[in-house]
C-alpha cells in the first residue's frame, strides 16, 4: 500500500549535518511516509551515510546520481514518489517531531491542496521564529494570491520546505522544477502549483528549522548575463501568474503591488545576492510599505523610504528580543550619543505621542533593559530677578500655569541602559549595519568618502538653520517686559 507522504531530500556534500536532518524525519510522530534521499554526486561521505540509514529503515530509498543540480534531483524524486502528499527538506535543515503530523492533519481535515507553515531560522547558535501567520485559516486561491501580494514574505512563498503539496496536482499538470535555471526555480514551481490549487491552509505553527549556510546545493554562481535572463524570466512568470488569477481590472489596480512583491521577496533570500540590497538576509520581512513608496518622488517620500528601510532591518532584531520596532528604535537611539533630556524631546525625536513613549519606556524598564529617573531642576533666574522676585512670582502665578511650567521647564529625565540591554544593543547595531550595507551597496570607496563629505556639509547647514531658530526663540522669551 502506498504511503501517505513522500518526503524528499536532495543531498550534496552534506555529511556534517545530514544525520541531524534524517534523524528528525525518522523521529516523526506521523510514521506513514517514505523517505527519498537523492545523493547528487556528493564527493564526501554523504552517500555512505544515506546507505547506512537505508539498511536500518525500510521506508528509506536512496537514489545515487551524477551531479546535475538540486532541481534535477527533486524532479527525479517526484517521478518516483508514491505518496498522496509531497514534503521537501534541504539536507542542512531539520523539522519538528510533529511537522508531518500537523501538515497531514491540516490537509485531511480541511481537504486543501496546499498547507503552508511558519518556520525557525537558525544562524550559528541563534534561533528566531519567522513568518507572520496570525491564525490558522482556510483560503481560496484568490484570497491566498491576494494575501501573498499584500504580505509576500509572511509565508515565505518562494521555498518548498515549509509546505505540503498534493502529488495528484503535481502529476496531473506535470509540474517540475526548471533544471535549466539555478535561481528561483522553486518560486516558479510554487506559482504554477498555486494556479492549479483551489483550497489553501495557513498553519500557525513553526515546523521547520532553516539553517542559514553557504556552499550547499542552493548556493550556485551565475554570470551577470544569466542572472539578468533569469530575473526577466521570474518577472514574466510572476506577471503571468497574477494576470491569470486576477481579472484585468484587479490586476491593473494591483500592478504596483506586483512590483513591491518582487522587491520584498528580494530581501527574503529568494533572489541572488547580486540582484538587490539585503538579499543575503532571510526573515526581516514584516515591515509594511505602501506601494507608491517604491517609485514615489519628493522629499517626504525620500524620508519615508529611508525610515521604512531602517524599520525593515530593525524588525528581525526586535522580534528576536520580543520588542516592537518602536521599542527597538528607542533603544537604538538611547544607545548612541545624544542630548535629549526631556520626555517631550524624546517623543518629538521618535515622532510619537508622549503616551506611546511612556508605555514604551515602562515596558523597557520592566524588562530590566533601562532605568528611567526624573530629575527636577530649579527654574532659571532671569537677569535682574532676585530670589524675592522669584518667590513673589511663584506665589501670585496661576497654579495650573505654574504646574505646566514646572513640568515643562524643570523636569528632566535621565535614562541609563542596563547590562541586560547589551546583547539587544548588539543585535540592533548589526541591523543598523545591514541597513547601511543596503543603502551603500555598489558604492566604491571614493564614492563613500564623497558621500560622507557631502552629508557632513548638509548636516552643518541644517544645524545652522536650527541654531538660528533656537537663538531667536530664546531672545524672544527673554524680551517680554516685566509686568
Three-state SS sequence of the chain: CCCCEEEEEEECCCCCCHHHHHHHHHCCCCCCEEEEEEEECCCCCHHHHHHHHHHHCCCEEEEEECCCCHHHHHHHHHHHCCCCEEEECCCCCEECCCHHHHHHHHHHHHCCCEEEEEEEEEECCEEEEECCCCCCEEEEHHHHHHHHHHCCCCCCCCCCCCEEEEHHHHHHCCCCCCCCCCCCHHHHHHHHHHHHCCEEEEEEEEEEEEECCCCCCCCCCCCHHHHHHHHHHHHHHHHHHHHHHCCHHHHHHCHHHHHHHHHHHHCCCCCCCCCCCCCCCCCCCCCCCCHHHHCCCCHHHHHHHHHHHHHHHHHHHHHHCCCCHHHHHHHHHHCCCCCCCCHHHHHHHHCCCHHHHHHHHHHHHHCCCEEEEEEECCCCCCCCCCHHHHHHHHHHCCHHHHHHHHHHHHEEEEEEECHHHHHHHHHHHHHHHHHHHHHCCCCCHHHHHHHHHHHHHHHHHHHHHHHHHHHHHHHHHHCCCCC
CA torsion through residues 226, 227, 230, 232, sign: negative
Same domain, 178 and 30: yes
Same domain, 230 and 289: yes
Beta-strand relationship, 114-123 and 163-166: antiparallel
pLDDT at position 127 is 75
pLDDT at position 18 is 97
What is the tally of structural domains in the chain? Answer: 4
Exposure string of 98-117, with b = 16+ CB inside 10 Å and e = fewer, is ebbbbbbebbeeeebbbbbb
- Is residue 271 situated within a structural domain? yes
- Is residue 423 situated within a structural domain? yes
Same domain, 340 and 437: yes
Specify the long-range contacts of residues 409-412, CB closer than 8 Å, at least 24 apart. 409/379, 410/376, 410/377, 410/378, 410/379, 411/342, 411/343, 411/374, 411/375, 411/376, 411/377, 412/341, 412/342, 412/374, 412/375, 412/376, 412/377
pLDDT in tens, the chain (483 residues): 999 999 999 999 999 999 999 999 999 999 999 999 999 999 999 999 999 999 999 999 999 999 999 999 999 999 999 999 999 999 999 999 999 999 999 999 999 999 999 898 887 777 777 765 666 789 988 888 777 766 554 446 778 999 999 999 999 999 999 887 766 778 789 888 998 999 999 988 889 999 876 444 444 444 445 555 555 566 666 666 666 666 656 655 555 555 555 554 444 444 333 333 333 333 334 555 555 556 677 788 888 888 888 888 888 888 888 898 889 888 888 887 766 778 888 888 877 888 888 888 888 988 899 998 877 655 555 555 555 555 554 455 555 444 444 444 447 888 888 999 988 998 888 888 888 888 888 887 778 778 877 888 888 898 888 888 877 766 665 555 544
| Length of the chain as a residue count | 483
Same domain, 435 and 452: no
Model confidence, pTM = 0.54
pLDDT at position 364 is 92
Same domain, 172 and 183: yes
Same domain, 321 and 418: yes
Same domain, 288 and 381: no
- Is residue 305 situated within a structural domain? no
Same domain, 166 and 125: yes
Distance CA 140, CA 201 (A): 9
- Is residue 483 situated within a structural domain? no
Same domain, 434 and 452: no
> What is the span of the domain harbouring residue 390?
314-441
Same domain, 148 and 91: yes
- Is residue 304 situated within a structural domain? no
CB 114 within 8 A of CB 164: yes
Q: Which residue among 253, 272, 297 closes a domain?
A: 297
Q: Which residue among 262, 297, 332 closes a domain?
A: 297
Same domain, 466 and 422: no
Distance CA 283, CA 434 (A): 13
Q: Which residue among 211, 238, 270 closes a domain?
A: 211
Burial of 209 (0-12, 13-18, 19+ CB in 10 A): buried
- Is residue 425 situated within a structural domain? yes
Same domain, 397 and 460: no
Distance CA 289, CA 292 (A): 8
For residue 18, give the CATH number of its domain.
3.90.550.10
For residue 430, give the CATH number of its domain.
1.10.10.10
CB 326 within 8 A of CB 357: no
Distance CA 145, CA 342 (A): 47
- Is residue 45 situated within a structural domain? yes
Residues ≥6 apart with Cβ < 8 Å to 42: 11, 12, 13, 14, 15, 67
What dihedral do alpha carbons 300, 304, 305, 310 form, nearest 10°? 140
- Is residue 302 situated within a structural domain? no
Amino acid at each position: 500500500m502506498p504511503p501517505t507522504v513522500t518526503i524528499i531530500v536532495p543531498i550534496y556534500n552534506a555529511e556534517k549535518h545530514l544525520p541531524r536532518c534524517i534523524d528528525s524525519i525518522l523521529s516523526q510522530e506521523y510514521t506513514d511516509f517514505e523517505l527519498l534521499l537523492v545523493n547528487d554526486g556528493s564527493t564526501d561521505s554523504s552517500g555512505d551515510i544515506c546507505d547506512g540509514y537505508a539498511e536500518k529503515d525500510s521506508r528509506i530509498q536512496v537514489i545515487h546520481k551524477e551531479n546535475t543540480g538540486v532541481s534535477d534531483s527533486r524532479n527525479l524524486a517526484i517521478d518516483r514518489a508514491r505518496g498522496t502528499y509531497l514534503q521537501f527538506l534541504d539536507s542542512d535543515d531539520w523539522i519538528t517531531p510533529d511537522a508531518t503530523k500537523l501538515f497531514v492533519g491540516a490537509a485531511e481535515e480541511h481537504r486543501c491542496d496546499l498547507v503552508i507553515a511558519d518556520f525557525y531560522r537558525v544562524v550559528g547558535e541563534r534561533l528566531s521564529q519567522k513568518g507572520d501567520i496570525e491564525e490558522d485559516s482556510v483560503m481560496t486561491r484568490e484570497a491566498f494570491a491576494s494575501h501573498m501580494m499584500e504580505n509576500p514574505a509572511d509565508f515565505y512563498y518562494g521555498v518548498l520546505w515549509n509546505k505540503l503539496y498534493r502529488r495528484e496536482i503535481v502529476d496531473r499538470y506535470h509540474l517540475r522544477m526548471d533544471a535549466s535555471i539555478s535561481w528561483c526555480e522553486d518560486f516558479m514551481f510554487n506559482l504554477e502549483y498555486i494556479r492549479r490549487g483551489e483550497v489553501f491552509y495557513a498553519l500557525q505553527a513553526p515546523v521547520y528549522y532553516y539553517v542559514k549556510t553557504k556552499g550547499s546545493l542552493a548556493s550556485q554562481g551565475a554570470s551577470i548575463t544569466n542572472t539578468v535572463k533569469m530575473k526577466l524570466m521570474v518577472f514574466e512568470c510572476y506577471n503571468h501568474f497574477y494576470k491569470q488569477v486576477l481579472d484585468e481590472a484587479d490586476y491593473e489596480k494591483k500592478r504596483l503591488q506586483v512590483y513591491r512583491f518582487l522587491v520584498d521577496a528580494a530581501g527574503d533570500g529568494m533572489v541572488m545576492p547580486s540582484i538587490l540590497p539585503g538579499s543575503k538576509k532571510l526573515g526581516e520581512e514584516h515591515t509594511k510599505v505602501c506601494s507608491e513608496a517604491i517609485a514615489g518622488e519628493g522629499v517626504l517620500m525620500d524620508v519615508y523610504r529611508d525610515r521604512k528601510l531602517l524599520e525593515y532591518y530593525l524588525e528581525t532584531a526586535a522580534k528576536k528580543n520580543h520588542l516592537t520596532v518602536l521599542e527597538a528604535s528607542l533603544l537604538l537611539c538611547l544607545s548612541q550619543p545624544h542630548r535629549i533630556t526631556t520626555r517631550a524631546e524624546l517623543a518629538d525625536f521618535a515622532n510619537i505621542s508622549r503616551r506611546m513613549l511612556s508605555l514604551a519606556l515602562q515596558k523597557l524598564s520592566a524588562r530590566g533593559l533601562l532605568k528611567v529617573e526624573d530629575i527636577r531642576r530649579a527654574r532659571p533666574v532671569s537677569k535682574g530677578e532676585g530670589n524675592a522676585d522669584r518667590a513673589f512670582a511663584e506665589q501670585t502665578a496661576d497654579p495650573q500655569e505654574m504646574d505646566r511650567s514646572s513640568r515643562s521647564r524643570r523636569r528632566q529625565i535621565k535614562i541609563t541602559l542596563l547590562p541586560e540591554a547589551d546583547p539587544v544593543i548588539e543585535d540592533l547595531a548589526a541591523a543598523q549595519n545591514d541597513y547601511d550595507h543596503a543603502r551603500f551597496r555598489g558604492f566604491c570607496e571614493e564614492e563613500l568618502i564623497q558621500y560622507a563629505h557631502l552629508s557632513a556639509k548638509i548636516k552643518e547647514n541644517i544645524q545652522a538653520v536650527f541654531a538660528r531658530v533656537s537663538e531667536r526663540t530664546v531672545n524672544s522669551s527673554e524680551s517680554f517686559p516685566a509686568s
